[in-house]
């Protein structure tokens, strides 16, 4: 099976799966919460999407989903594809702040 290549330049992504770090599963989950295009995703806040996904799915998602959304935001803003685990520290800090406010 041939794997589709990801969009490599900012603004080239036509569908969610064209974005680095977005696979079929996360694309499906994003569509469940009403995000079906890269343009919609670019206008959204990663933490808000993460919380919305948890609410829609009835449970808190794995923190790696937040890290992925941060990587996606970075790609959509800069065109630079960075692996999701490069955003672990930033995501952990966001979640720690969220836990303190609860």
DSSP H helix total and E strand total for the chain: 5, 0
Predicted confidence (pLDDT) at residue 1 exceeds the cutoff of 50: no
Segment 22-37, tens digit of pLDDT: 999 999 999 999 999 9
**In 3-state terms, what secondary structure has residue 97?**
helix
Q: How confident is the model at residue 4 (pLDDT cuts 50, 70, 90)?
A: very low
Segment 44-85, tens digit of pLDDT: 999 999 999 999 988 888 999 999 999 999 999 999 999 999
Q: What residue ranges define each of the domains in the chain, with the CATH number in brackets?
A: 17-101 (1.10.150.20)
Determine contact, residues 26/65, Cβ cutoff 8 Å: yes
């Amino acid at each position: 099976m041939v794997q589709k290549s990801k969009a490599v330049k900012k603004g080239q992504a036509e569908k969610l799966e064209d974005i680095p770090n977005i696979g079929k599963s996360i694309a499906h989950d994003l569509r469940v919460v009403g995000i079906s295009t890269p343009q919609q995703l670019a206008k959204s806040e990663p933490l808000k999407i993460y919380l919305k996904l948890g609410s829609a799915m009835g449970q808190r998602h794995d923190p790696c989903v937040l890290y992925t959304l941060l990587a996606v935001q970075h790609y959509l803003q800069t065109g630079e594809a960075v692996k999701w685990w490069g955003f672990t520290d930033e995501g952990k800090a966001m979640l720690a702040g969220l836990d303190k406010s609860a």
